[in-house]
Amino acid sequence: MSTSDKNKKRMGTRAVHAGWEPDAATGSVMPPVYLTSTYVQDGPGRPRNGFEYSRTQNPTRFALEDALAELEGGCAGFAFASGMAAIHTLTLTLKAGDRVIAGDDLYGGSHRLFSQIASRFGLNFEFRDLTTSNAFEALPEDTRLVYLETPSNPLLRIAPIEEAAKAAHKAGAELAVDNTFASPIIQRPLELGADYVVHSTTKYIAGHSDVIGGAIICANREQAEDVAFHQNSAGTSSSAFDSFLTLRGLRTLPLRIERHCSNAATIADFLNNHPAVSAVLYPGLPEHPGHEIARAQMQGGWGGMLCFELPEGGPQSEALVSALEIFQLAESLGGVESLIELPAPMTHASVPAKERQARGISDGLVRVSVGIEDCDDLIADLSQALDRIT
Ligand SMILES: *Cc1c(COP(=O)(O)O)cnc(C)c1O
């Protein structure tokens, strides 16, 4: 099957087959885990089929990278040791003096990488609310990259991808979108004009809370060569074993996302109508400020993430998370099991308290990664916990 035939298949089919054809030698339907650091050469400087050293080339990693490129509709994909390794590698493609306009609601680790590390190497970061339509007016001349998350972590803010891409290109810059929260089943930023998609594949793509990984998918060849150069030079690539696990998880991504979305929508409604809950953030709720933009760009559903608040704030939220039985108190998201956490003392503790408050991350904000369990059991668990604390 040629690539162009394959691209005509629907996502549910592509996820199952992308990146690997049964191999000629054995017909194995999944790629072997190539646990080798190096490859024998036929003569000095004559590697077989281009394979020299595993940091640079590994067939198991290549299978995952091709699958990622196919699902996001990019020309090439790259797999990294973590989401942060991917984002770090993207910053390495910039140079001192370049300006990055970044969303002001980002994963805590991305904020820390930008403000405490990459900024020491001469990159200028400006954090803006990228959800408003005038956010993209007058991008400074030295802007090289616009970087956003949509839906954002943790507040599930929605930024308009197509508008961001147009504004970035007009200013001579590129657009990178962290698509971790949506996954390519829901939203494909490259089709909306973005130049790069980044992922923490730790989350929905691998999906089973058993591996740390990241990805960059590029829209064009020139960028892809640049990312490949930096992935190899900085040594940030994914191991063969982690690549295998991630590809194994990716095979069921469409099925899992369907269930994450339907469970999350039901739970968002339940919480929204519960008298003990003071606010619910979920892009699928009509009152969510980004609802209409989300409807246009999140075509596969509203996602499996939501946040909510309780009237008495921090202490009440702490009581709630310890009263739950199925929802596990843990950082991370996107796995089959439901997880719950408080961003302020947990995932976003690296964002200074003053900044957290300014951005709307209250101490009592509760973030939920809705898993794929039976939804009735999840509702029953939330219901008993809310009864116990009110
Ligand atoms: C978790 C996360 C990251 C970082 O990924 P790691 O795999 O933990 O390094 C980046 N962006 C978002 C949106 C995330 O949720």
Which string of DSSP letters, residue by residue, matches 270-287? HHHT-TT--EEE-TTSTT
Q: Which amino acid is at 375?
A: C
| Known catalytic residue at 55 | yes
- State how far the Cα of 155 lies from the Cα of 283, in Å rounded to an integer: 10
**Phi and psi, residue 175, nearest 5°:** -115, 130
- Pocket probe for ligand 1: among 180, 212, 307, the residue whose CB has the most ligand atoms within 8 Å is 180
Class of the CATH-defined domain 3-250: alpha beta
253 CA from centroid of ligand 1 (Å): 17
Is there an atom of ligand 1 within 6 Å of 263 CB?
no
Q: Choose the catalytic residue: 9, 55, 259, 295.
A: 55
Is there an atom of ligand 1 within 6 Å of 214 CB?
yes
Q: What is the pLDDT along the chain (390 residues), one digit of tens a residue?
A: 445 555 579 999 999 999 999 998 999 999 999 999 999 999 999 999 999 999 999 999 999 999 999 999 999 999 999 999 999 999 999 999 999 999 998 998 999 999 999 999 999 999 999 998 788 888 999 999 999 999 999 999 999 999 999 999 999 999 999 999 999 999 999 999 999 999 999 999 999 999 999 999 999 999 999 999 999 999 999 999 999 999 999 999 999 999 999 999 999 999 999 999 999 999 999 999 999 999 999 998 999 999 999 999 999 999 999 999 999 999 999 999 999 999 999 988 888 899 889 888 999 999 999 999 999 999 999 999 999 998
CA neighbor of 106 nearest in space, from 180, 48, 29: 180
CA neighbor of 344 nearest in space, from 155, 123, 64, 182: 155
**Would you call 335 helix, strand, or coil by DSSP?**
coil
Q: Where are the domains of the chain?
A: 3-250, 254-389
| Record: fold of 254-389 | Aspartate Aminotransferase, domain 1 (3.90.1150)
Give the single-character DSSP code of 158.
-
- For residue 333, the ligand 1 atom closest to its alpha carbon is 15
| pTM of the predicted model as reported, rounded to 2 decimal places | 0.96
| Known catalytic residue at 107 | yes
Residues in the chain: 390
Is there an atom of ligand 1 within 6 Å of 309 CB?
no
Give me the long-range contacts of 286-293 (CB less than 8 A, separation at least 24).
Answer: 288/156, 288/158, 289/131, 289/157, 289/158, 290/131, 290/150, 290/151, 290/156, 290/157, 290/158, 290/159, 291/158, 293/158, 293/159, 293/160
- State how far the Cα of 320 lies from the Cα of 308, in Å rounded to an integer: 12
- State how far the Cα of 198 lies from the Cα of 191, in Å rounded to an integer: 14
